[in-house]
Structure 1
Amino acid sequence: MRHTKVKDLLNSSSTLHEVNAKGWVRTFRNNQFIALNDGSTINNIQCVVDFENTADETLKRITTGAAVSVTGTLVESKGAGQKFEIQVSKLEILGDSDAEKFPMQPKKHSLEFLRENAHLRVRTNAFGAIMRVRSVLSFAVHSYFQEKGFVYVNTPIITGSDAEGAGEMFKVTALPFDNTPRTEDGKVDYKEDFFGKETNLTVSGQLEGETFAMALGQIYTFGPTFRAENSNTSRHLAEFWMIEPEVAFNDLNDNMDLAEDFIQYVIKYTMDKCQDDLKFLEGRLLEEEKSKPQAERSEMALLEKLNFVLENNFKRVSYTEAIDILRDSTPNKKKKFNYIIKEWGADLQSEHERYLVEKHFKCPVILFDYPANIKAFYMRLNEDGKTVRAMDILFPGIGEIVGGSQREERFDVLVEKMRALGIDEEELWWYLDTRRFGSAVHSGFGLGFERLVLFVTGMTNIRDVIPFPRTPMNAEF
């Protein structure tokens, strides 16, 4: 008999027929009641064992975490909170189970403990819900762009360029560490390396994506990126996933329209598909909030926060206007910000971004026209010579979630900016070619996928929304 998913059994329209279910034991009570889960839903199905006719040896092996197969009759449940249950006629233990050593016992575990057991944490309700939401969000990303006629492009993971100019990149080499070939001046001789030049793991697919947008019109990338930033905070990962669309002939206003429409689409799609998981995560978040001081509690519940994004138009505000607002704000005047805003040109922090969204405008905000000296070289310079056509989308509880810009399409201006920043023109000769041949206005943005999952699930640490987090001094599993 083929087994049926727990989700389908719980949604069944008929009873009193024989079914088979397979999954993992969440709890086993009174030598009779198994709470069975197979990952298809956050909800368990109760399986009622005929303990009088089941061997004691078998009953002893029904432990938390054990994989089992149950066959029996699907009946209406007499217990509260569940529609159906299985009256078990046949039970089989699949594989081994060491009850005494299984770390995911049915009790509350700290998130730090669960990170140390990332290979098993997905068996908990919270992480099962998070990973299902992540999966649906991922599908929604592709669904949106495919429906809009975008071409999916796989940009290189190994690259010779540093798109952000930050220099915090993982080197890729086949050179020996013990006897590394050197040039006459003592530097590493990368001509002897596998690729014949210095290469790294990518921090962004944007530059390569732009070359495809100049031929295919509208493209998007969605793949792994890497940053060797030695930061052990709740907002940083060394390996993460980026969504990066690039669109020919789009200016900054078009770019803002696209980003707003995209992010509202994927959130709504996920809310429609993951109602049970999001309700559970909201309840979990509300329980956590109770233990926090009043001042640190979120002002909005999870679903309220998601609807806040769906139901409000994103307010568009220039960086200059935002600086004036922040400089005159009460927390700035009373020095309650950790970073006091003193003058134009300051790089905004999360506390400033959240103030604009949550306190001042009370809606999602898109900031644009940032100072050129705090943004990347490829952003289009405005006529004032001091700002660029950059944009950041700010959300409640998280601050910046999207960063993008209209790209600098003018060859001479781009070269001048690269020279001023010491960026090697020869290394990016191919990027400059897109400005030499058929250059046009174009724009794009980047969205860190884990940042999006963090927002939608209500989690507070980015390590909890990726299957196996990679952070400084941690590459386990």
Structure 2
Amino acid sequence: MKQEQKRISDIFSMSPEGQSITVYGWVRSVRESKQVAFIELNDGSCFDSLQVVVDRAVISQLPQGLRTGASLRAAGILAESPGGKQPIELQAKEIILIGESPEDYPLQKKRHSFEFLRQIAHLRPRTNTFGAVMRVRNTLAQEIHSFFNERGFMYVHSPIITTSDAEGAGAMFRVSAEAEGAENPEFFGKPAYLTVSGQLEAEIYAQAFGRVYTFGPTFRAENSNTTRHLSEFWMVEPEMAFCELEGDMQLAEDFIKALLRAALDKNHRDMAFFDQWISRGIIEQLEKVANASFEHITYTEAISKLENAGKKFEYEPHWGMDIQTEHERYLAEELVGGPVIVTDYPRDIKAFYMKQNPDGKTVRAMDVLVPRLGEIIGGSQREDDYDKLLARIKELGMDADNYWWYLELRKYGSTPHAGFGLGFDRMVQYVTGMQNIRDVIPFPRTPGNADF
């Protein structure tokens, strides 16, 4: 009978009817009794490993034996497992060692510190924790594309190299040419940088296609060594023409709920692992947010609530300040007891492109706050008035010549438009409960660290 190769995730959904199958994977552990050996085999397709039971004689015939970390091919009969830890097992007739693993394989123990695993980023995906993180990350990435595709958004690839600073913060990586004999280090004829955001370019396409989104890498040259910052990270940024702040807030709420629901529905075992070992109660917390109606509060109202909270904050709240993480968490966790959207921030603490309110003091900005994290989405209605945008650029001392094309969007068929940005890695961190953002991206880039 022909033996069909199967992924382990497919095997667990099969009925053990004596089917003849072949499976490939990496050895998590090997236990031996007098007559048989028990191999815990994982191929990354799901959280659980498959128990492979094989006669010890088969193992003894392998020239180097069989150790943790080795890759192999196992063929045999699928059967019900008499043990209580797994429903089925593979009773192997043949074991072929594909890649041996020496005794110094670093992942011998069941538990390792995350700090240690960051030093072996080429091997950490084989652990339970990082396998679960990356499967959830994959689910969320797929859901992002599905969510926007179902709503008629076009996926736009915004440039990684740019001459514009979307935030006006200046913390950008500069791009220069190092070609031998190059006379002009400015390869593009003017200073160029790695992008901090795809928003400005997305606005171009929103003014032609109505609804677009970007999803790609962005870069910040901030010397921040915290559990929340990366030098290279991924951003999701939708932009919508003929849309004001109210529509922007509704999309943001629907988006967060769709992402949470996808992880909860499609990654049961991975989420159960996080709930047990990483962040107790995280499934219930995410369920509450996924089923909640997001409350709305203005920045001015939020500051008043913070000033009268009767609570000692590290940063004393006052109107005109940028709300800190401790304030965001108080608003979401204690004041509202769920997700909340804060709107209409002071213009002086927000980016130049945000729509100015008639009061002359605030802009049509919004931040989505969730319990346990604080801000998870930041967005705004964009300024669509040419004269107001130009005046704001000059007021901030920015070079208007660098934004000539951005200004021209306000000259030729301008529309009310809005959008937001979601830090994808921070979303993965929120869903998994991982404490350090360096542990939710395959290859973290931080100050002093660009290995792997």
TM-score range, shorter chain: over 0.9
CA offsets 1:58-90 (integer angstroms, 9 cap, x no match): 285211111011111111001112110011111
**Which of 68, 82, 88 is residue 84 of structure 1 equivalent to?**
88
Which position in structure 2 is the counterpart of 1:168?
A: 171
Could you tell me which residue of structure 2 aligns to residue 365 of structure 1?
340
Partners of 2:206 and 2:239 within 8 A in 1 = yes
Matched, 1:252 2:227: no
The answer to whether residue 353 in structure 2 is matched with residue 378 in structure 1 is yes
Is residue 220 of structure 2 the alignment partner of residue 227 of structure 1? yes
Per-residue deviation, residues 296-332 of structure 1 (Å, max 9, x unmatched): xxxxx1101111211211110000000000011122x
**Are the aligned partners of 1:211 and 1:434 in contact in 2 as well (CA < 8 Å)?**
yes
Aligned to 2:45: 40
User: 2: distance between equivalents of 1:460 and 1:330?
Assistant: 29
Deviation, 1:274, is: 0.8
Q: TM-score, normalised by structure 2?
A: 0.96
Aligned AA (2:216): G
Alignment partner for residue 200 of structure 1, among 193, 201, 210?
193
Residue 263 of structure 1 is matched in structure 2 by 256
- Give the whole-Å Cα distance in 2 for the aligned partners of 1:384 and 1:124: 55
Q: Percent identity?
A: 51
Aligned to 1:147: 150
2:285 to 285, 305, 309: 305
Supply the distance in 2 between the matched residues of 1:361 and 1:55 (Cα, whole angstroms).
60
**Contact 2:211/2:238 (CA < 8 Å) preserved in 1?**
yes
Q: SS at 2:400's partner residue?
A: coil
Distance in structure 1 (CA, Å) of the matches to 2:222 and 2:413: 36
Partner of 1:184: none
Number of aligned residue pairs: give it. 447
Structure 2 match to 1:322: 302
Alignment partner of 1:350 is 2:325: yes
What is the CA–CA distance in structure 1 between the aligned matches of 2:319 and 2:162, rounded to whole Å? 35
In the superposition, the TM-score normalised over structure 1's length comes to: 0.91
2:110 paired residue number:
107
1:435 aligns with 2:415: no
Contact 2:366 2:379 in 1 (8 A): yes
In structure 2, the residue matched to 1:295 is: none
**What is the root-mean-square deviation of aligned Cα atoms in Å?**
1.5
Letter in 2 for 1:48: V
Q: 2:64 touches 2:100 (CA, 8 Å); kept in 1?
A: no
Shift of 1:284: 1.0
Matched residue, 2:126: 123
Specify the SS of the correspondent of 1:63. coil
Q: Does 1:61 align with 2:65?
A: yes
Instruction: Give the Cα separation in 1 of the matches to 2:259 and 2:341.
Output: 18
Matches within 5 A, 1:464-475: 464-475=439-450
Following TM superposition, by how much is the alpha carbon of 1:243 offset from its aligned partner in structure 2, in angstroms?
Answer: 0.3
Q: 2:273 aligns with which of 261, 274, 280?
A: 280
Quote the Cα distance in structure 2 between the aligned partners of 1:143 and 1:180: 45
8 Å CA contact 1:250–1:442 kept in 2: the answer is yes
Q: What pairs with 1:383-422 in structure 2 (closer than 5 Å)? A: 383-422=358-397
Q: Distance in 1 between matches of 2:59 and 2:394?
A: 79
Q: Could you say which residue in structure 1 is the equivalent of 2:22?
A: 20
8 Å Cα contact 1:26/1:106 also seen in 2: no
- The amino acid across from 1:62 in the alignment is L
Q: Quick one: which amino acid aligns to residue 11 of structure 2?
A: L
Gaps of 5+ in 2: none
Query: Contact 2:59–2:66 at 8 Å: present in 1 too?
Result: no
The alignment partner of 1:12 has SS state of coil
Q: Is the 8 A contact 1:27 1:106 kept in 2?
A: no
1:423 deviation in Å? 1.1
Amino acid of the structure 1 residue aligned with 2:156? V
